């Protein structure tokens, strides 16, 4: 499956975005607490390959996700393969025995808003620990994503091309330099 999204940092108040989403016909459908654990391996470099292996702990569920290289476009597009995991402790043990090591964790609270006209169109308002508030717009069509973004842009958004993992690692490096 291809994941298509625009990610933007919210440079104003998140409440402004929520109000605008409501005016556009979006409704809050769910709130999720997510812990994303990203893995590295000694035999290849995920960063060089622009890939990622993630274990997502979400409320009481777990998912193992492979993310392929990003394609160079205005809307970030990349292959995503995800599987629900029923025994997260066992999958962690398997990964560790295969040489995978946890690289970093991204902790966030995600509010998912869905469109009344298109159930596959989702807007996520994320609070990422250590980074702040972000907005992700996901849909099947790039044009749909760009249209929604252009309507929300006036509310104080700045497109971000980095992943949360990249931003967290950069934040940690900066903390080590300063401290």
Instruction: List the Cα angle 122/33/146 in 5-degree steps.
Output: 20
Catalytic residues: 38
CB count in 10 Å sphere of residue 173: 10
Element (H, E) at 87: none
Q: Could you tell me how many residues make up the chain?
A: 179
Residue 32 tokens read as 């999720």
Structure tokens at 145: 């994503």
Q: What is the C-alpha to C-alpha distance for residues 70 and 21, in angstroms, rounded to an integer?
A: 27
Spatial separation of the C-alpha atoms in residues 10 and 12, rounded to whole Å? 6
Sequential pLDDT tens for the chain (179 residues): 788 899 999 999 999 999 999 999 999 999 999 999 999 998 988 999 999 999 999 988 999 999 999 887 778 899 999 999 999 999 999 999 999 999 999 999 999 999 888 878 999 999 999 999 999 999 988 999 999 999 999 899 999 989 999 999 998 888 777 65
Domain segments of the chain as ranges:
2-178
pTM for the model: 0.91
CATH superfamily, domain at 2-178: Hypothetical Protein Pfu-838710-001 (2.40.320.10)
C-beta pairs of 126-133 under 8 Å, 24+ apart in sequence: 126/164, 127/14, 128/164, 128/167, 128/168, 130/168, 130/171, 131/164, 131/167, 131/168, 131/171, 132/9, 132/10, 133/9, 133/10, 133/14
Rg (C-alpha) for the chain, rounded Å, is 17
């Amino acid at each position: 499956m291809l994941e298509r999204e625009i990610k933007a940092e919210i440079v104003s108040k998140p409440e402004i975005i929520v109000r605008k989403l409501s005016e556009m016909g979006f409704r809050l459908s769910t709130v999720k607490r997510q812990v994303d654990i990203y893995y590295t391996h000694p035999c290849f470099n995920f960063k060089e390959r622009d890939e990622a292996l993630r274990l997502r702990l979400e409320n009481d569920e777990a998912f193992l996700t492979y993310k392929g290289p990003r394609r160079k476009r205005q809307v970030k597009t990349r292959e995503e393969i995800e599987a629900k995991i029923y025994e997260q402790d066992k999958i962690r043990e398997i990964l560790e025995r295969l040489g995978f090591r946890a690289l970093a964790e991204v902790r966030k609270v995600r509010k998912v808003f869905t469109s009344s006209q298109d159930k596959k169109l989702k807007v996520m308002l994320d609070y990422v620990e250590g980074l702040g508030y972000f907005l992700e717009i996901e849909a099947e069509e790039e044009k749909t994503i760009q249209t929604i973004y252009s309507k929300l842009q006036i509310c104080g958004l700045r497109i971000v091309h980095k992943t949360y993992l990249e931003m967290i690692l950069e934040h940690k490096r900066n903390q080590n330099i300063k401290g």
